[in-house]
Amino acid sequence: MQKNTETKQARRARAIAIYNILAETYPGSGIALHFRSPFELLVATILAAQCTDARVNTITPGLFKSYPTSEAFLAAPVEELERAIFSSGFYRNKAKSIRNASAAIIERFGGAVPGTMEELLTLPGVGRKTANVILGHCFGKPGMVVDTHVKRISNLLGLARSSDPDKIETELTEVLPEETWMHFSHLLANHGRAICIARRPKCESCPVADLCPSAFIAQARR
């Protein structure tokens, strides 16, 4: 299979086949972060940068008990908030992003997290990845979340040909049905943790190896 000569129609067919196989391989795939509202998901997603979802889920119950609203986060002394989220890493930048986003939500959106991509992108610390997570899981609007797993694996699969997350999002949404977008992101994340591991991919046991040009290359080098 030659990535550079594959037609868009062929790539669509291959993308759907990959999706179907991964959906069977990882049943029940979904968001791992725990949340009860759009604001809680916003905060959790900010904390999840360079941190595992499991770690974030140990932090957020106490965090949301202490600071249940955007107003409470904004009123909290910054040093206190930093201590509360310290174990997530990069705690100073994350505390700043949470406080600034809280201020914007209060000042511009009446204390409620907005429900459009355009409005979400005006919030400090919110990019398309975070916005798509919130829109998909809180407002029922499909989006392709491009995290580190999706960025890496979509290129290995030949479904994307870029290192730019925005371009990858466009490439993937062009070859997959809208109703699969959010789920596909979760499937690639699970696949990246279980099989397509960055430092030691298990191509020999990969369920989509026959559809992956990178697996062909790896096998040819053996």
| CATH number for the domain harbouring residue 172 | 1.10.1670.10
Whether 199 and 148 map to the same domain: the answer is yes
Of the three residues 70, 92, 112, the one that is the final residue of a domain is 112
Catalytic, out of 65, 129, 141, 164: 129
Domain that holds residue 192: 3-29+144-220
Q: What predicted TM-score, i.e. pTM, was given to this entire model? A: 0.89
For residue 201, being part of any structural domain is answered with: yes
Q: Which two tokens stand for residue 176?
A: 């997959």
pLDDT at 216: 72
pLDDT at 120: 97
First and final CA of the chain: distance in angstroms? 18
Decide if 210 is catalytic.
no
Positions in the chain short of pLDDT 70: 1-4, 217-222
Measured CA to CA, the distance from residue 116 to residue 16 in angstroms comes to 27
Whether 163 and 210 map to the same domain: the answer is yes
Whether 75 and 17 map to the same domain: the answer is no
Whether 106 and 155 map to the same domain: the answer is no
Whether 215 and 184 map to the same domain: the answer is yes
Catalytic, out of 53, 96, 141, 147: 147
Decide if 167 is catalytic.
no
For residue 103, being part of any structural domain is answered with: yes
pLDDT at 1: 39
Place of tokens 């899981």: 137
Q: How many domains does the chain have?
A: 2
For residue 70, being part of any structural domain is answered with: yes
Measured CA to CA, the distance from residue 146 to residue 128 in angstroms comes to 8
Q: What is the pLDDT of residues 79-132, one digit of tens each?
A: 999 999 999 999 999 999 999 999 999 999 999 999 999 999 999 989 999 999
